[in-house]
Amino acid sequence: MLSNAARLLMVSAAASLVALGAAPAEACQEIADEAIVLANAQTPLASGAALYTLIQKNVWSYPSSDIALLWGSPSPSSGVYYDNAVDLIDVAGTDPGDDFTPIASVADILPGDVLVIDATGTYSGHTAIVTGLPQQITALNPKISGSTQWALPIVDSTTSVHGCSTVYADSRFVASAPGSCTGTFRGGVGTAYMRIYADATTGALTGHTWSVTSGGTFYAQSGTTYPVRSFVIARQQSCPLL
């Protein structure tokens, strides 16, 4: 059974959507704040999806039973969160689309939004928490015609370093010498940056790379020209009501 807090959350969220209409939900700073706390504590977690689940438990005191009812699993995967974010499935007890608001433009991204890369047949997906505003950068390779590039500050849990940039650094990586890309990496929760690409005219998100370093693999949202790993940046609608 859902806790009283969870029930109140769902009812309030529905009322809020009626009042807001088509306006985007207010950003959820509490999510970003808790992500940074966990990063500073060097919390050991198996995945980015587990990080987002833990944040919900810590911020709203959700037990695992509530997580299971809300998302269909006590430990949702990135694929499950992605499907919710793009409204392929929806949180129990809310109208379709009431759980997340997908962010349509890079200009609308705010701290507390959630970046989720969908799972594929050979990739388990990934979840990261946005902790700051995207920063437009001078284009690095690979350069995609018609796109702008942005460094996006995040917190996630991973065993793969987000590059070795000294400007857009991964807090879990310690270089063997200043500016070196060799060194040691501590898996778990930490701060880092990912690079996102946006349409230069509309601001629509068109792809991403794992790090803000020249030559990283570009993953497109769709198409056949580049490898595809679809992702979404979405906003949990319920947060401002608590």
How far, in Å, CA of 163 to CA of 179, rounded? 11
Give mean pLDDT, residues 214-235: 95
In the predicted structure, residue 127 carries a pLDDT above the cut 90: yes
Give mean pLDDT, residues 183-205: 97
DSSP, collapsed to helix, strand or coil, labels residue 126 as: strand
Instruction: Please state the pTM of the whole predicted model.
Output: 0.86
List pLDDT tens digits, range 149-183: 999 999 999 999 999 999 999 999 999 998 889 99
Secondary structure, 3-state, 23-82: CCCCCCHHHHHHHHHHHHCCCCCCCHHHHHHHHHHHHHCCCHHHHHHHHCCCCCCHHHHH
Query: Which two structure tokens, joined as six digits, stand for 208?
Result: 């991403």
> At 236, is the pLDDT very low, low, confident or very high (cuts 50, 70, 90)?
confident
In the predicted structure, residue 6 carries a pLDDT above the cut 90: no
List pLDDT tens digits, range 69-116: 878 789 999 999 998 888 776 665 555 555 788 899 999 999 999 999
Q: Which of 26-35, 113-122, 185-194, 217-226 has the lowest mean pLDDT?
A: 26-35
List pLDDT tens digits, range 7-59: 333 333 332 222 222 334 567 899 999 999 999 999 999 999 999 999 999 99
Residue 90: its pLDDT value, please?
62
Query: Which two structure tokens, joined as six digits, stand for 166?
Result: 């000294």
How far, in Å, CA of 147 to CA of 139, rounded? 9
